Amino acid sequence: MTNHWVDIKNTDLVLIMGGNAAEAHPCGFKWVTEAKAHRKAKLIVVDPRFTRSAAVSDYYAPIRAGTDIAFLGGVINYLLSHDRIHHEYVKNYTDFSFLVKDEFAFENGIYSGYNPEARKYDKSSWGYQIGPDGYVVTDPSLENPRCVYQLMKAHYARYTPDMVFTICGTPKEAFLKVCEMIATTAAPDKTMTVMYALGWTQHSQGSQIIRTGAMVQLLLGNIGAAGGGMNALRGHSNIQGLTDLGLLSNLLPGYMTLPGDAEQDYKAYIDKRAFKPLRPGQLSYWSNYGKFFVSTMKAWYGDSASAGNNWCYDWLPKLDKGYDILQVFENMNQGKMNGYICQGFNPLASAPCKIKVSTGLSKLKYLVIIDPLATETSEFWQNHGEYNDVDPAKIQTEVFRLPSTCFAEEDGSLVNSGRWLQWHWKAAEPPGDAKGDQEIMAGIFLRLKAMYKKDGGAFPEPILNLTWKHRQPDAPSPEELAREFSGKALKDVTDPKDPTRVLVKAGEQLNGFAELRDDGSTICGCWLFSGAWTEKGNMMARRDNSDPFGIGQTLNWAFSWPANRRVLYNRASCDPNGKPYDPARKLIAWDAASGKWSGSDIPDFKADSPPEDGMSPFIMNPEGVARFFAVDKMAEGPFPEHYEPFESPLATNPLHPANAAARANPAARVFKEDWSTFGKPDKFPYVCTTYRLTEHFHFWTKHVRLNAIVQPEQFVEIDEELAQQKGIKAGDHVRVKSNRGFIVAVAVVTKRLRALEIAGKKVHTVGVPIHWGFLGLARNGYITNTLTPFVGDGNTQTPEFKSFLVDLEKV
């Protein structure tokens, strides 16, 4: 979330799209109710299903799963063509006036630089025109046809209400009603918040859906304001934290990235990431990349990391490509992997195309499970009848199942969606011989280290020299680890403007990332979390819930990254002169008397930069402004374009009926063997979408008695018309099948789903909740991901769980 849960109460309009907060995040959704009750805010829900969020909305519009870019592109077209945008904001705080290279082009649904064999773009034409001064050339009059504004306007002019109806099936009047409601928040003192979740991410073009939503918010001036923002409602309690800490194939802590093979030169690696400003007077905060990187390497490798060896740069693994979960299961299937460790992750149930996951695991030499609960993955080799019909004798994988603690049995911090690091305390001992995750990781690592020390082996240096300053080496404590990622000074850290002034003494915890240095004098395991544990103590454990400004900021509750800031980009809540657009919801303002920005939040800005200096609010971007034109950051192109889901009821993309290459995402990676696993609408005529229920959490709560009682048995939802056609009554068992497998479940016949007219034909949607499996207290059921396709988003590789094709029959 750019904002946070309580801040939702400050909004005038809520758009829930690609999520169902009332069902999946009920206690956060309460802040929507608060905004409705106390600010007379309105709630719009756009969803393929009439969800629990829709049930309490002011307006609901249906949409076909996987067509959100078409809908939101239509909103952009409406706002631009009706001139319902926040002019001062877009002119000063976005790339509206930036000129784009002449070579950049878009034809027949494909951007310049496409290589169809590789399914990849050469992105060299996706950039700005750079002037002789080294800065981007702009046209403040916005008349140049190569400026971002003009290019964007032309791009989305094709997204007419009729086109939206053709692709999305959303009736024209419903679409226009939503546009009109959204447009009201272009007023400088009105804001809309966007709340989305996996309904936007789990598509082959999910990242671009989210970008399109962010573009709508930028046009309206809703980013950076109280009650505004782009608010990702994350799925797990610490999915935010693990992302922040970089536990993904290509990441280092704090969104730093691992080098690629070609990046052999340390200095070039840093320079490429330490962006220089692209416009005069901009901060470009990533220019500090070297400080973040060196401090992390000092935290990991201590005295071994020095300027002489480039802070152990060569010790980091380099990427020849991304090894995301889909790539890894592909490699397993090809026999390229021997071992796998699942720490609190149940891929047999959570990853797409169960048969492929199961086949992959069967080819491993060893599998290690670390979990508080008996997961399906841990018993992938066991025959569980129709739900997991395998022959254990044929599976040669050695499996270890190690019991770990749950939340109630450990100390530590989690990052919620609002970026708050909240500390929790241990209440009891774990059952039996279960151990904490840190002890388990230490148990394996210390034995490996001892073996390398004794016997040598492949490249032992990073293993032997990894810092391990724990009072109990086999049980590193959460406090020690939190202090390490927050950071401390190894030598006195002085003020760059006055070297006689010591900011932090040697050995003390840092106050924040501004004190990081690239000379090896500071350690910090995750720059983004710096300041979470200072000399004042554990800032994540703070529990003062006072809200002095009355807009829900609670700056002394827990610790919010970065720098305890609660609303990102909050400089953009003020006009160029530093005055809040809405004084009643003031986050920060320029205080000329003290020469500082101040207010109810920590300024997301250089605190002493006066408005007349012209620094722009998006300080992480080298442009200083927000981008409508994504330059080379996205796989599919600088402006989001609608492509069909890989499995769709339409044979062509209605925007590009003559170009087969532009039907589905041209830059999505598809493994060779998987093309044949995609189904066609002649055999699989219905759109299927998967989702959660409020009574369950993934595949955990089927082990929890109360939840197993309130929602005991697997079901699927079908609309009344389809049920009638197929002779299905509520309570009948139905078989839902895709080209990859089938599930059998009880039919719930409901008005909450309705057929939509798509490109002249009637399309039904089948809804499948995800929560059942072959272990647990609830009745056994089929794993929903038996059905789903093995293809992911072109940027993130997040699987396309939200729109694929199935057929349906009564059993």
Partner 1 sequence: MQVTRRQFFRICAAGVGSSSLAALGFAPGEALAEVRAFKLARAAETRNTCPYCSVGCGVLIYSLGDRSKNAHGEVMHIEGDPDHPVNRGTLCPKGAALLDFVRSPNRLKRPEYRAPGSKAWQPISWDEAFTRIARLMKEDRDKNFIAKNDKGETVNRWISTGMLAASASSNETGYLTQKIARSLGMLAFDNQARV
Beta-ladder partners of 170: none
**Do the Cβ atoms of 258 and 27 come closer than 8 Å?**
no
* Chain centre to alpha carbon of residue 316: 25
**Subset of residues 28 to 87 that bind partner 1, contact rule: CB under 8 A:** 28, 30-31
696 binds partner 1 (CB under 8 A): yes
State the number of CA atoms in the 13 A half-sphere of 482 facing the CB: 24
Q: Binding residue for partner 1 (CB under 8 A) from 142, 176, 444, 620?
A: 444
According to the 3-state scheme, what is the secondary structure of 241-274?
A: HHHHCCCCCCEEHHHEECCECCCCCHHHHHHHHC
We find the least distance from the C-beta atom of residue 773 to partner 1, in angstroms, to be 11
* Residues sharing a CB contact under 8 Å with residue 495, sequence separation 6 or more, in sequence order: 501, 502, 503
706 binds partner 1 (CB under 8 A): yes
* Residues sharing a CB contact under 8 Å with residue 632, sequence separation 6 or more, in sequence order: 123, 126, 127, 638
In the complex with partner 1, the residue whose CB is nearer, 90 or 510, is 510
Per CB under 8 A, the segment of 272-280, 432-440, 487-495, 754-762 that binds partner 1 is: 432-440
The interaxial angle of helices 206-219 and 68-81, nearest 10 deg, is: 20
**Subset of residues 188 to 217 that bind partner 1, contact rule: CB under 8 A:** 202
Q: Binding residue for partner 1 (CB under 8 A) from 18, 62, 412, 781?
A: 412
418 binds partner 1 (CB under 8 A): yes
We find the least distance from the C-beta atom of residue 421 to partner 1, in angstroms, to be 7
Q: Binding residue for partner 1 (CB under 8 A) from 83, 132, 141, 394?
A: 394
Query: What secondary structure letter does DSSP report for 277?
Result: P
Angle (CA) 327 328 331, round 5°: 85
We find the least distance from the C-beta atom of residue 236 to partner 1, in angstroms, to be 4
Per CB under 8 A, the segment of 25-33, 105-113, 636-644, 740-748 that binds partner 1 is: 25-33
> Which amino acid appears at position 249 of this protein?
S
Per CB under 8 A, the segment of 103-111, 284-292, 407-415, 626-634 that binds partner 1 is: 407-415
What's the sign of the alpha-carbon dihedral 170, 172, 177, 182? positive
* Residues sharing a CB contact under 8 Å with residue 629, sequence separation 6 or more, in sequence order: 95, 98, 100, 148, 151, 152, 638, 639
We find the least distance from the C-beta atom of residue 644 to partner 1, in angstroms, to be 22
Alpha helix (H) residue ranges in 118-205: 148-156, 161-168, 172-183, 198-201
**Encoding tokens for residue 442?**
């230490």
Q: Binding residue for partner 1 (CB under 8 A) from 102, 117, 261, 613?
A: 261
**Subset of residues 281 to 300 that bind partner 1, contact rule: CB under 8 A:** 300
**Subset of residues 241 to 260 that bind partner 1, contact rule: CB under 8 A:** 241-249, 252-253, 258
As a whole number of angstroms, the distance between CA 649 and CA 762 comes to 10
**Subset of residues 589 to 618 that bind partner 1, contact rule: CB under 8 A:** none
**Encoding tokens for residue 193?**
């918040």
In the complex with partner 1, the residue whose CB is nearer, 270 or 775, is 775
Q: Binding residue for partner 1 (CB under 8 A) from 268, 448, 651, 730?
A: 448
**Subset of residues 490 to 529 that bind partner 1, contact rule: CB under 8 A:** 525-526, 529
In the complex with partner 1, the residue whose CB is nearer, 46 or 349, is 349
Per CB under 8 A, the segment of 93-101, 366-374, 655-663, 737-745 that binds partner 1 is: 366-374
398 binds partner 1 (CB under 8 A): yes
As a whole number of angstroms, the distance between CA 505 and CA 447 comes to 36
18 binds partner 1 (CB under 8 A): no
Residues contacting partner 1: total by CB under 8 A: 164
**Encoding tokens for residue 380?**
């992938």
We find the least distance from the C-beta atom of residue 74 to partner 1, in angstroms, to be 29
We find the least distance from the C-beta atom of residue 304 to partner 1, in angstroms, to be 11
302 binds partner 1 (CB under 8 A): no
Q: Between β-strands 498-504 and 537-538, what pairing exists: parallel, antiparallel or unpaired?
A: unpaired
In the complex with partner 1, the residue whose CB is nearer, 346 or 609, is 346
Q: How far apart are the first and last CA of the chain?
A: 44
In the complex with partner 1, the residue whose CB is nearer, 189 or 409, is 409
399 binds partner 1 (CB under 8 A): yes
We find the least distance from the C-beta atom of residue 362 to partner 1, in angstroms, to be 11
Q: Binding residue for partner 1 (CB under 8 A) from 37, 268, 408, 475?
A: 408
State the number of CA atoms in the 13 A half-sphere of 712 facing the CB: 4
What's the sign of the alpha-carbon dihedral 686, 688, 693, 696? positive
The interaxial angle of helices 266-273 and 289-301, nearest 10 deg, is: 130
* Residues sharing a CB contact under 8 Å with residue 416, sequence separation 6 or more, in sequence order: 5, 234, 237, 240, 422
Residue 665 neighbours by CB distance under 10 Å:
28
Residue 135 neighbours by CB distance under 10 Å:
16
What's the sign of the alpha-carbon dihedral 593, 595, 596, 597? positive
As a whole number of angstroms, the distance between CA 633 and CA 20 comes to 29
Q: Tell the burial category of 500 from Cβ atoms under 10 Å away from its Cβ (0-12, 13-18, 19+).
A: exposed
**Encoding tokens for residue 712?**
């005991």
**Do the Cβ atoms of 806 and 787 come closer than 8 Å?**
yes
DSSP string covering 706-742: HHHHHS-S-EEEEEHHHHHHHT--TT-EEEEEETTEE
Q: Tell the burial category of 501 from Cβ atoms under 10 Å away from its Cβ (0-12, 13-18, 19+).
A: exposed
Q: Binding residue for partner 1 (CB under 8 A) from 452, 549, 671, 742?
A: 452
What's the sign of the alpha-carbon dihedral 137, 141, 146, 148? positive
Query: What secondary structure letter does DSSP report for 315?
Result: G
In the complex with partner 1, the residue whose CB is nearer, 552 or 649, is 552
- What does residue 431 show for φ and ψ, rounded to 5 degrees? -70, 150
531 binds partner 1 (CB under 8 A): no
In the complex with partner 1, the residue whose CB is nearer, 462 or 657, is 462
658 binds partner 1 (CB under 8 A): no
**Encoding tokens for residue 146?**
């190569």
548 binds partner 1 (CB under 8 A): no
26 binds partner 1 (CB under 8 A): yes
Q: Binding residue for partner 1 (CB under 8 A) from 371, 582, 647, 717?
A: 371
Q: Binding residue for partner 1 (CB under 8 A) from 775, 791, 805, 806?
A: 775
We find the least distance from the C-beta atom of residue 560 to partner 1, in angstroms, to be 11
267 binds partner 1 (CB under 8 A): no
Per CB under 8 A, the segment of 52-60, 377-385, 602-610, 741-749 that binds partner 1 is: 377-385
Q: Binding residue for partner 1 (CB under 8 A) from 136, 178, 294, 421?
A: 421
Q: Binding residue for partner 1 (CB under 8 A) from 373, 523, 743, 805?
A: 373
As a whole number of angstroms, the distance between CA 149 and CA 638 comes to 13
Q: Binding residue for partner 1 (CB under 8 A) from 67, 212, 295, 701?
A: 701
One character per residue 307-346, x = contact with partner 1 (rule: CB under 8 A): -------xxxxxxx--xxx-xx--x----xxxxxxxxxx-
401 binds partner 1 (CB under 8 A): yes
235 binds partner 1 (CB under 8 A): yes
We find the least distance from the C-beta atom of residue 506 to partner 1, in angstroms, to be 23
We find the least distance from the C-beta atom of residue 200 to partner 1, in angstroms, to be 14
One character per residue 108-147, x = contact with partner 1 (rule: CB under 8 A): ----------------------------------------
**Subset of residues 549 to 568 that bind partner 1, contact rule: CB under 8 A:** 552, 554, 557
Per CB under 8 A, the segment of 221-229, 237-245, 278-286, 750-758 that binds partner 1 is: 237-245
In the complex with partner 1, the residue whose CB is nearer, 31 or 89, is 31
